Chain A
Amino acid sequence: MRQVAVVGIGKTAFGAFPDRDLRSLAVEAGQKALENAGAKPSQVEAFHLGNFAGPSFVGQNHLAPYVAAGMGITGIPATRFEAACASSGAAFFHGVSAVAAGLYDVILVTGVEKMTSQPTPKVTEILAGAGDLCGEVRAGATFPALFAMIARRHMYQYGTTREQMAAVAVKNHANGAKNPLAHMRKVITMEQALNGKPISEPLTVYDCSLISDGAAAVLVVPFERASEFTDKPVRVLGISQASDNVALDEKDDITTLRAVKISAEKAYKVAGVKPSDIQFAEVHDCFTIAEIVAIEDLGFVKKGEGGPYSLAGKTCIQGELPVNTSGGLKAKGHPVGATGVGQICDVVQQIRGEAGERQVKRNSLGLAQNLGGSGATSVITILGAA
């Protein structure tokens, strides 16, 4: 297998953009990634598009060639990947796999979602389509409800508190406030986070990620060709994808996401690193409890210690393990199909030393965790300085 490098990154701002359509967002991100790598559209040999629910949100199908053509790219394989909120993580995993296998040299991987053109109950319903429609969703489950039930069980088994979850929101908002591309650049207090409007108990509006529009893109090439594109290549040291049951009531212990554990163990093994070697991470904080569960399942802390660790400030930019320096899904925003590739862009930015006032000091080894649904898809990527 060949070593793979990320040589270009591009993101739109995340937010609510009533005047932008899905394609223009995806095209903007893709063009920025190409420019960032000094590459021409004609050099792209395959186009992977991560998108969860474009057909439901905006009605457009056949999205990959539609977006590619918007960048002047035709005549190559252009394919959409759907894996709920891990759609672009999956598109990236398969892009890296194809380059590693030698099928292609230059692959553009883009993620996009356009969500804000629908009212919240409709968005809630479309997102619920990533759950089991014949079971939990029919009974009235929404994604906040599924993660609220994970939170309740985590609180019951490990004594996790509302304050510990709120600490995740406060920290991610503080980081997002420093990120020029974040959807919500607003610092919040612990008191605000604890007293937000209830969404699904015990989660308040401050425990939930945002409904956003946005796109992100990366250009991947074999490491041996990276110098043709950039003097700051970032190496994909390990990447893995795993699946699990879609329905939450079919998972044995809902306080641990099995697909995350499996994909993380494999990614660590391929990269030849341990959880304690990871210097910073972007994790899938679709809800505050999800960040707590993630840092446990990734092996950064023991099961049940994610809450106290977060409340103690260990995951702040200045802490021992900075998590979600971008602001995370909570503050940066969560255009679901763009999130996985967006995380790769954020980790690459840190490794290149381009994160501005959010820059972490130890920045040579970072991890991205992208989650689909209530844990039925997980993609873990470990990136390192070349």
Chain B
Amino acid sequence: MTSPGSGTVYTETVVFSPPEAYVNDVPYQLAIIQLESGRRLTGRIDGERAQIGDRVKFVEFRKDVAFFRKSA
């Protein structure tokens, strides 16, 4: 899979009540990222919590899910 690149947080949430597949992940931050390519992508934020408008950088795909990290 190709890297979605960098982007900005369009919206986000921290999930406490998970679906069965992610019961061991909670709490986790989920976000819609406005990518530089123009499209939006739903992914996870790793590490420091990000807010709307924060710049984020693509880290890696884990099981086809894009993980991002807040840019320094």
List chain B residues, Cβ under 8 A from A140: 15, 18-19, 22, 25, 28, 30, 44, 65
Q: Looking at the assembled complex, report how far the CB atom of A366 sits from the nearest CB atom of chain B, in whole angstroms.
A: 33
- Once A138-B64, A145-B13 are accepted as A-B contacts, the answer to whether A248 and B18 lie under 8 Å apart by CB is no
Contacting B at CB under 8 A, from A103-150, are 120-122, 124-125, 128, 135-142, 144-145, 148-150
| Alpha-carbon distance between A63 and B10 when the two chains are bound, in angstroms | 41
- Once A124-B20, A139-B66 are accepted as A-B contacts, the answer to whether A201 and B14 lie under 8 Å apart by CB is yes
A200 lies within 8 A of chain B by Cβ: yes
A312 lies within 8 A of chain B by Cβ: no
**Contact of B40 (CB < 8 Å), options: A120, A150, A249:** A249
Contacting A at CB under 8 A, from B17-49, are 17-23, 25, 28, 30-32, 40-44
| Alpha-carbon distance between A156 and B64 when the two chains are bound, in angstroms | 29
- A-side interface size class: 20 to 34
A382 lies within 8 A of chain B by Cβ: no
List chain B residues, Cβ under 8 A from A122: 20
A261 lies within 8 A of chain B by Cβ: no
Which secondary structure dominates chain B's binding surface? strand
Q: Mark A136-170, 1 if CB is under 8 A from B, else 0.
A: 11111110110011101100100000000000000
Task: Closest B residue to A157 by CB, please name it.
Answer: B52
- Is A125 a contact partner of B12 (Cβ separation < 8 A)? no
| Alpha-carbon distance between A135 and B30 when the two chains are bound, in angstroms | 12
Q: Looking at the assembled complex, report how far the CB atom of A31 sits from the nearest CB atom of chain B, in whole angstroms.
A: 36
A250 lies within 8 A of chain B by Cβ: yes
List chain A residues, Cβ under 8 A from B30: 139-141, 145, 149
- Once A122-B20, A139-B66, A142-B19 are accepted as A-B contacts, the answer to whether A201 and B13 lie under 8 Å apart by CB is yes
Q: Which of A120, A142, A249 has the most CB atoms of chain B within a 10 A radius of its CB? A: A249
Residue pairs across A and B with CB atoms within 8 Å: the count is: 91
**Contact of B65 (CB < 8 Å), options: A121, A139, A145:** A139
A254 lies within 8 A of chain B by Cβ: yes
**Contact of A247 (CB < 8 Å), options: B12, B21, B42, B65:** B42
- Is B11 a contact partner of A156 (Cβ separation < 8 A)? yes
- Is B21 a contact partner of A152 (Cβ separation < 8 A)? no
List chain A residues, Cβ under 8 A from B10: 153
Q: Mark A190-211, 1 if CB is under 8 A from B, else 0.
A: 0000000111111100000000
| Alpha-carbon distance between A198 and B27 when the two chains are bound, in angstroms | 10
- Is B17 a contact partner of A141 (Cβ separation < 8 A)? no
Q: Which of B16, B42, B63 has the most CB atoms of chain A within a 10 A radius of its CB? A: B42
| Alpha-carbon distance between A156 and B25 when the two chains are bound, in angstroms | 27
Task: Closest A residue to B49 by CB, please name it.
Answer: A201
Q: Mark A330-373, 1 if CB is under 8 A from B, else 0.
A: 00000000000000000000000000000000000000000000
Closest 5 CB pairs of A and B: A148-B13, A125-B19, A136-B42, A149-B11, A249-B40
The residues of B with any CB-CB pair to A shorter than 8 Å are 10-23, 25, 28, 30-32, 40-44, 52-53, 63-66
Some 12 contacts from A to B, beta carbons below 8 A apart, are: A125-B19, A139-B30, A139-B42, A139-B43, A140-B25, A140-B44, A142-B15, A149-B12, A149-B32, A197-B16, A200-B16, A249-B40
- Given A144-B17, A200-B16: 5 more A-B contacts, CB < 8 Å: A124-B18, A148-B15, A153-B10, A153-B11, A201-B14
